[in-house]
Structure 1
Amino acid sequence: MHSTITFPALALALSSNVFAAPLLQVRQNTLTTADTVQFVAKTIGSNPNATTFPDINNWLFQPVHSGAGTNLATLVDPSTASFNLSAPGYFQNGTDAPHSTGGYMVAGFIDSTAPYSLVLDVAHEANSSNPGAELGYVEMNIGLGTDGLNVPDGQLITSEYVTDTFYACPNVPVEGGSVIAIEVIDRYATPPEGCWSIELYAQCAGPITDSDRVAFPAFVQSSCYANATSAVVQ
């Protein structure tokens, strides 16, 4: 994620073509590690539908209750939500994941109740010509999860062998309203109609509690940005 252009190389590139487009370098905070992270969405491409989508770039990840023991992963406008990014967030547990890779993200304990884990509720895509096509929502489910997720270099990815893509999908119904929910698809699935492709970057947050450390001995520190809004989309 970090590329360095030395001055001689830059001078050579500019001298080789006087009509070359200006080089734009976006600074990003040095990656570090933190006990817990929050997630910031970065949009990919142009807005697919301005009538249903505000500018969701740099919106924040937040679970919203969608049923018994289940929360959809959603995006929330940080200007209208009282987020404290220095408070503890989600941390990575390195066990119980497919193919023995990655781990899953855990929300920790809430008033000594069971932990919530970030999992992928994927299923075969209906009417797909490819039987391996899968899609579904990212969820916060009560109890331990089994779907592998990882945060290498400060970016949330799945640890499956196929490359998955995250999307923000508007007007997803939940109890008493609708939300912009985060959906995941594999490389064989048809992109969800009317949704916006996103990436999720980790913002450093606070430490996990001693009780969480005892409950999750495979706890893994994750790379994160001091300011994830400065992350450069790959």
Structure 2
Amino acid sequence: MLRLFAIMTAAAFLFGCQQSPADAQLNERSREEVGEIVRAYILENPEVIEEALIELQRRAQAREMENVYSAIERNVAAIYGDERDPRFGGDEPDVTIVEFMDYKCSYCRVANEWVTDVNERYGDRVQFIFKEYPILGPDSLEASRAALAALNQGPEIYELFHRSMINASGPLPADRIDQLAALAGVDVAQMRTDMEDEAIMAHILDVRALGQALEVSGTPFFIVDGTVVAGANSLALEEALQRALRG
């Protein structure tokens, strides 16, 4: 890659200067010669194309992350200060973790193992804020509406119901949601009534708008004390958590 860089640098130097008409023919010949050198090098070392593509991808991802972190700075109040959002953990935590999640997302189910483990290890030192972000169809929306309706019956009831649904594999039709709710101690009839409250759908739409502003294209999506971790990457999540705890 360094050799190719040297070749391209030489070419740029040669053709970046102002040309006089008298030099045009000579420079055209030189251009052809350098082009042949570069072509021959690439044919002998085709891996440089892959390296260049990887570097382009890395730079694109870096630009995307810059955009995400800028969006986080602009939306701090909505991320951390929305009192409608369900929360686990202490009211004055050392670390706050935000998760955009969908009950039908299998990766959210995997990530929940880490969430549960952190909750058991650190208790009130860590607070989780859950952003109900149903993006996987009507069942997802139904489940989120049910969860937020159950929150009206108390945070403990929500927590049990949340864990029950996030750990459930397969479809989540209405009758199954009701069964899981009943097992979690939810008053199902009251939940169904509360699900019709326009405020619940307004909350979900606000979270959706926030997710779009943060370019959240999939779940789970974590913000660990300001550090973004996309996906069920427990190693990256744990590293971010430990950095935050060291503070």
TM-score bin, normalised by smaller chain:
under 0.3
The structure with the largest alpha-carbon Rg is 2
Instruction: Flag the structure with higher helix content.
Output: 2
Instruction: Flag the structure with higher strand content.
Output: 1
Q: Which has the higher contact order (CA 8 A, sep 6+)?
A: 1
* Superposition TM-score, scaled by structure 1 size: 0.28
